[in-house]
Amino acid sequence: MLRYSVSPEVQMDTRHRLYLLQQHLFSTGFASVHGERPSAEYAKLRKESLESEFGHTVGTHSSTSVSAVYRFGPFLALYRAAIISFHVLKLTIWQFFFRDIKERAVKFREMLIRLGPFYVKLGQALSTRADILPPVYCQELAKLQDQIPPFPTRIAKKSIEMELGIPISEIFADISPEPIAAASLGQVYKARLHSGELVAVKVQRPGMSLMLTLDALLFHMIGGQIKRFAKARKDLLVAVNEMVRHMFDEIDYVLEARNAERFASLYGGWPGDGHTSNHNAKGVNTIKNKNAKGIKVPKIYWNLTRKTVLTMEWVDGIKLTDEAALKKAYLNRRELIDPGVYCSLRQMLEVGFFHADPHPGNLLATSCGSLAYFDFGMMGDIPRHYRVGLIQVLVHFVNHDSLGLANDYLSLGFIPEGADMQSVADALQTSFGDGTRQSKDFQGIMNQLYDVMYDFNFSLPPDYALVVRALASLEGTAKALDPDFKVIESAYPFVIGRLLADPSPDMRKILRELLIRNNGSIRWNRLERLVAAISEQASEDPPESEENDSPLSGWKSFDMHAVVDATEDLLLFILSEKGLMVRVFLLRDIIRAADIFLHDEVFGCRLEAESKARRTSEFEDGAIMSRVVNGFGLLTRAVKSAPEIWTAMLMRIVLKPQTLGFSVDIISAVCNHVSNKFPESFWVCMSRLIHELSKTHAPDTRMR
């Protein structure tokens, strides 16, 4: 039977107690009451796996290209190389004539368009990589989205007939004479089947596989010159290799169709799909929203889909940037953000399979309020380790825990092995500043970290490069609907819900880090806000309706069963051997509260010096007794919302022998402290009272 007793420690004077605490702060290296050191081993293995995958992909397509070169003549590669070399030569000359960085960024974008789809996709990928290019270049390259001239429709029709093996008149009753959308790798036509169904037909640009392979291989010849002209701050070739791996996936429309169906099975069609009900059982809910009906994914017509032709359901919708059309359809721009944000957060933080490019061109609002997703060529699939790491990075960033953040970067492979972690942590702490100018939007946060990333040779792993792209696209899309939208601020409630709902050890550890510092002290302000949020939800009594069955009925709220389970795990941790320092700090805070109560409530006075000292403590910030009373009131309200499960949990905790031992420690420590302080406080307050009375009656004495 385990027995804890720390009464002798709390009976010491303040200096001795602080000395005891300092012995457990572990100021060197990374250690905390939460335990566990991060490791870069997983990140290293992941990188090797991705490099092998990239080599296999390029090797396969290179073999195809070599066959094509032999078939069409060796001059094909030489011709392409000559075109690229000509434009690179112009870049070299422009360096001497265009000194203004904005003009150079415009010329760089124009050159990428002339060089074709490979370089357009390169520009699109680099438009979110301010760790590689200056911000001016990123802003200019963002204009490449959906601004690609189409290829002739007659060529597109021939491609459809060749791929499907049927005359186009036998496939479609009619097809639009011009493409309704053109992108760097293909273009889309609106058509009607003989059955009367409207479909969207995506046709790939001819010769894309050969052209991409040649450009990928030839880029390595001229990458250095482009890097110098664009003033790239990191190895541009690494980013290009990463992009090529995804680009070859994008030109495989059969793979894109599979991605669309997988995406639909995971995230589409609320309410009523099985995955959603499992999700709700875990307690991750969504915002109450009358207009939002969920996520729409077009149906795939497999009999009319091949590697370079994709036929899918036609979806009528409104562009998210068309404010007038949204108003005409009575759609609230702000409310349209909720399903997209919720879906994106589920993709990246819960499931792992995510749409890597949710920009406004790939999203439409339907008349019933659903959000339709398109273009499933660029998808990411991050393992659980990286998803948990992303949540941990967010929590450490919110906590301003620079050392924890540095070790997150190490374990995720951002930082090379052998880096001085303390130096990285110091640089991150400097980037935080005093918190008054702390950015809450994603791009602002990344800008704060870019200098640190450059100085310490950070490198975004392929998985996270896509995550950064997706988050940047998500925030950009949401800002088109609501200029004040901040993705990190919006993600925080979802993250809290995930931490409360997921009982796995790593998520429980992150939840403890959110509420308990590494040295064991409790973040009372954060705990108070969390209890207030849970209590606020508990006080609401939403009417029963079919709308509330949707996952979008409150994703910024919490499942009470999950809250109770998380609370029990937290209390068990505090009572365990690892929670020794938490109990020491908790005793300290209880004694401080008792001391304040003794001075303020019993005797109604407080020494000025003590008052000033206490105001420096987070725990003492504000009227302490009112905060304590308010906190108990909020907790009581939460308990009343589900009294059976709360009572059962509290009974289990109370019956633990560790609880009895800690309760005895609290009572003995408080009694000992009060017995020592009572006489002193009594006579000090009496002295102050006599002094005040003498000052009050002093003028009457002089009058006499």
Catalytic residues: 357
Structure tokens at 493: 């409630």
Radius of gyration for the alpha carbons in the chain, expressed in angstroms and rounded: 31
If you write DSSP's letter for every residue of 475-528 in order, what string do you get? HHHHHHH-TT--HHHHHHHHHHHHHHH--SHHHHHHHHHHHB-TTS-B-HHHHH
- List the alpha helices (DSSP H) in 230-363: 236-250, 253-267, 274-281, 323-328, 333-345
Residues sharing a CB contact under 8 Å with residue 362, sequence separation 6 or more, in sequence order = 355, 373, 374, 375
How many angstroms separate the CA atoms of 681 and 674, rounded?
9
Which of 5, 12, 194 minimizes the C-alpha distance to 667?
Answer: 5
Q: Is 283 helix (H, G, I), strand (E, B) or coil?
A: coil
Are 103 and 136 within 8 A, CB to CB?
no
DSSP class of residue 548 equals G
Residue 319's H or E segment, with its range, is strand 318-319
Q: Is 617 helix (H, G, I), strand (E, B) or coil?
A: coil
Q: Is 353 helix (H, G, I), strand (E, B) or coil?
A: strand
Cβ-defined contacts of 318-321 (< 8 Å, 24+)? 318/364, 318/365, 318/366, 318/367, 319/360, 319/364, 319/365, 320/360, 320/363, 320/364, 320/365, 320/477, 320/480, 320/481, 321/360, 321/480
Structure tokens at 623: 């009227």
Q: How many CB atoms lie within 10 A of CB 387?
A: 20
Cα–Cα distances (Å) from 608 to 595, 599, 612, in that order, read 14, 11, 6
How many angstroms separate the CA atoms of 650 and 364, rounded?
48
Structure tokens at 547: 């709308």
Are 552 and 56 within 8 A, CB to CB?
no
How many angstroms separate the CA atoms of 175 and 164, rounded?
15
Are 497 and 558 within 8 A, CB to CB?
yes
Q: In what order do the strands lie in the sheet with 371-373?
A: 295-296, 371-373, 363-365, 318-319
DSSP class of residue 144 equals G
How many angstroms separate the CA atoms of 463 and 582, rounded?
36
How many angstroms separate the CA atoms of 578 and 583, rounded?
10
Are 229 and 104 within 8 A, CB to CB?
yes
How many angstroms separate the CA atoms of 382 and 385, rounded?
8
